Structure 1
Amino acid sequence: MVLRRWEPFRELEAATRRMERLMDEVFRPSRLFWHIHEPWVPAVDVHQERDKVVVRANLPGVSPDKVEVSFQDNVLTIEGEVKEEREVKEEDYLLRERAYGSFSRSITLPAGLDTDKAEAHYENGVLTITIPRLPEAQRKSIKVRVGKTVEGATV
């Protein structure tokens, strides 16, 4: 027989986790009708390169002519709409996870971008927006010299 030390706090933590999972299940909107309760927000990736910032947004099922991209200061806004297909009656769905309707996503971008030269490209349900940096905003490297500095000159 193996003796185990009783740890009341471990049991309390486990009970708390079980209770949280139970509450999540009880109060979570039905998976069948989740789209009624939550607005659709497209997933977005933003990365920077030395001379530009690139934004990629997943917009599956969105017609490119239903997408609007705008800038105000350093905030990029992507808006659009996914039209609902009325081929199936609501009561005939067994599971419905695809989102429909209007969406809007705003992203704060770093300063120093030339939004007048931004380009947007849509392919295979992915919107790619490329925003070049302003020339003065590009990072410059300077060489570090070793030695003493006397009145601005290195000796």
Structure 2
Amino acid sequence: MVLRSDFDRLTARVFDTAARTGGARLDAYRDGDTFFIDIDLPGVDPASIDITVDHKVLTVRAERVRPEREGVRYLVAERPMGTVTRQVFLAETLDTDRLEARHENGVLTLRIPVTERARPRRIEVSAA
């Protein structure tokens, strides 16, 4: 049995999460000397995706459009349509000049190399 207050808390959490992410969920991870961001963009035409980097702020915008069908009347329309936006604050250690983007199977994958100066390196110790 779900109590009214439990339902309110669950609903608030779901709507808060949806509003915070703008409908686009992401994973961010580092693999070796490369940083990756995978953003779910199902039903988005890759030509509508706009990616910008301004002072280490990465912004991804895309448009999800419901196709116009003459004579069709939707009884249920739950899939979100319209502009989807995500912003990510990037570290100074990422080389955004070499950022690569690929859209495949509804997922936008951004590949950003780590700068040379941020890579782990071994320091030699000299004897006095």
Name the SS of the counterpart of 2:47 in structure 1.
Answer: helix
Residues 4-153 of structure 1 aligned to structure 2 (within 5 Å): 18-24=3-9, 28=11, 40-87=22-69, 88-90=72-74, 92-93=75-76, 96-142=77-123, 153=127
Give distance in 2, aligned partners of 1:76 and 1:67. 13
**Structure 1 or 2: more helix by fraction:** 1
Give distance in 1, aligned partners of 2:113 and 2:33. 6
Aligned 8 A contact 1:40 1:100 in 2 = no
Note the aligned Cα RMSD (angstroms).
Answer: 2.8
Name the SS of the counterpart of 2:112 in structure 1.
Answer: strand
| Counterpart code for 1:89 | R
| Counterpart code for 1:130 | R
TM-score normalised to structure 1 length: 0.65
Q: Displacement, 1:22?
A: 4.7
- CA shift digits 1:16-61 (9 cap, x unpaired): x935225458xx59xxxx9xx9684201110013311101011000
If asked which structure has higher relative contact order (CA below 8 Å, sep 6+), I would say: 2
Q: Displacement, 1:109?
A: 1.9
**After TM superposition, which residue ranges in structure 1, 4 or more long, deviate above 2 angstroms?**
22-25, 37-41, 85-88
List gaps (5 residues or longer) in structure 2: none
Percent of residue pairs identical: 28
